[in-house]
Amino acid sequence: MKFLLLLLSLLSFVAFSFAQEQRPLEIPYVADLHCHSSLKPFRQEAHTSIFDGVGCSGDCFNRKRLPLLMKAKNFPIGSQASFSQCQQGKNKVVFLSMHIPEVQMMDIRNIWDFFTSDNRMENFWTRITGFHKDFIRYQLMMYDENEPINYFKELEREYAYLLTQEQHDTGGKFVIARNYQHMKEVLENEPGTIIGIMNLEGMHNLINYQRQKDFWLDSKALNDPTNPEYIKYHKMLEENIKKVKSWGGGEHAPVYATMTHSFWNMVAGQAPVVPKTVRALGLKQRPGLHEGFTELGRSVLEMLLSKENGRRVLPDVKHLSREARKEYYSIWESYRAKGDTFPIIFSHAAVSGIKHLDKKDKEEELVAMDKLHKPYHGYFNRTPLNLCDEDIWNIFRSRGIIGMMMDEKRLLGRRSKTDINKVKKAGDEKALQMEYMKAWMAHVFYIIEQCQSKEAWSMICIGSDFDGVIDSMKAFPNAESFPEMAEVMVEFLRSHENLAVGLDRKKIEKLMYGYEPEELVEMVMYKNIDRFLEKNFAPDKSLVESLSN
């Protein structure tokens, strides 16, 4: 009898412990540090609702009318982060990354004209971007006729579009957050509302190019404060930064701004966004490729970080060249030495597995290195766009934030692609979800391993880049996928699965630093962004005083 009672007590204890360990996953909402919900709907024939997004119908999406080379490609057309998709995926806090498409991308036509007509090029670009054909036709015409390109004017029009979406009930309710407190009030009192937080991607957004030849303006002029070109663009950027900092009476000022994108913007050098083979077709990513900051760019950093011209806008280092990132960390250090600390942001990231920013690997050498049988080589994409260990450490010591992206072309290396393709062929959807999750979590655990600290978990969040013309992970293709992604993440963390980057289950558990799987998933899905905004999206005191007078 005593033995039976002892056995029952033991079973009750085990059941209680198991119940404690398997606490329910609590995700009241998902927060995404970087996506482009307005990019496609704003660029339709009639401005489509940001809730409806963009579908895939229309003859411009007919593969038969595309160049032969493109037929095999799976370009995303339909929206990945329309607000209706965000509603389905509990994605209530959305950083609205405003990005005006760079017309230089059209330069690829110069090589392809011999086997594509203009009509086919319209179809090609519409197929890739999801923009309306009239918008593409207008961009091509402006570029061909050497017309001035006023990015800032279009940026202001897109902001005005967001204001109209905020004012009208077009399938749901949307509000642009004024500050952290306002965001928390809306989350508590209006649970069905999508909350937008403003940010910019690329300093080209603030420029009016009166001459297209300035796309390739030499950095010599931009390093000389007495040069007329420097003076002209310095004044323009100063005025336009002040204007965006005054949006919404100053309450819609961007929280952060990505310094560069695909092409030279006179501010800082960019990392390559397309392979060398595509650049060989005529895509002019030079000048600026792999270069550092110009003197004009350093002045722009001061304008963004200044609190004298409005609320501080935090620089985002994604898309900067490695040289420019090195320089930025040095600039950050100079601010810290004066007692002015602020977080370093890498808004939509993947890991490269490369240690140092000053590593001068040529792209073809990086590909060759992927063939080495070292734990990380071949599993990650080693593009200069991705995080080096030096990036990770600087972000960590600044108490910054890293948004993990959902773009498989940036996430996957040769080995991880092979692993995923094997599972795809088997046709097991659940197994495919787990394989994608293992690939995604390999990046996360790599970051934690480099920092060797429990605190590193506080800087990991979602930075999907949805609707930024990405090739999203097939198992988690859009914002609707977030709840399922969270469940699969918990399942992985509770499983006995190893990671094919030299991390067995024992090492994985060590790197979890005592956190329960549910705790980590909640941090990644929303809590870390909440913590970041609490510190960096507070009301500006001078703004509050001026509004109350």
SS3 letters across 301-333: HHHHHCCCCCCCCEEECCCECHHHHHHHHHHHH
HEC per residue, 475-520: CCCCHHHHHHHHHHHHHHHHCCCCECCCECHHHHHHHCCCCCHHHH
Q: Is there a contact between 65 and 167 (Cβ–Cβ < 8 Å)?
A: no
> How confident is the model over 9-30, as pLDDT tens digits?
444 444 434 444 566 888 999 9
Q: Which two tokens stand for residue 238?
A: 């100063």
Q: Which two tokens stand for residue 250?
A: 């100053």
Helix (H) or strand (E) holding 91: strand 91-98
Task: Give the model's pLDDT for residue 74.
Answer: 52
Query: pTM, whole model, 2 decimals?
Result: 0.89
The CA-based angle 381-387-388, given to 5 degrees, is 100
Task: Give the model's pLDDT for residue 256.
Answer: 98
Q: Taking Cα atoms as reference points, which of 83, 32, 1 lies closest to residue 525?
A: 32
Q: Is the peptide bond preceding residue 287 cis, with omega within 30 degrees of 0?
A: yes
Q: Taking Cα atoms as reference points, which of 438, 457, 468 lies closest to residue 348?
A: 468
By CB atoms closer than 10 A (0-12, 13-18, 19+), residue 262 is buried
Q: What three-state secondary structure class fits 97?
A: strand
DSSP annotation of 380: S
Tell me the average pLDDT across 188-203. 96
pLDDT over 60 at 143, yes or no: yes
Tell me the average pLDDT across 496-524. 93
Share of the chain above pLDDT 70, in %: 80
pLDDT over 50 at 224, yes or no: yes
391: which residues sit within 8 A by CB, 6+ positions away? 317, 325, 346, 357
pLDDT over 80 at 109, yes or no: no
Number of H helices, E strands in the chain: 22, 11
Give the number of residues written for the chain: 549
> How confident is the model over 309-340, as pLDDT tens digits?
999 999 999 999 999 999 999 999 999 999 99
Out of 78-82, 289-293, 366-370, 505-509, pick the least confident: 366-370
Rounded-to-integer distance, Cα 422 and Cα 435, Å: 10
DSSP annotation of 524: I
> How confident is the model over 247-280, as pLDDT tens digits?
999 999 999 999 999 999 999 999 988 766 555 5
Which residues partner with 98 through β-bridges? 200
Rounded-to-integer distance, Cα 303 and Cα 34, Å: 22
Rounded-to-integer distance, Cα 463 and Cα 318, Å: 11
Q: Taking Cα atoms as reference points, which of 103, 196, 197 lies closest to residue 154?
A: 103
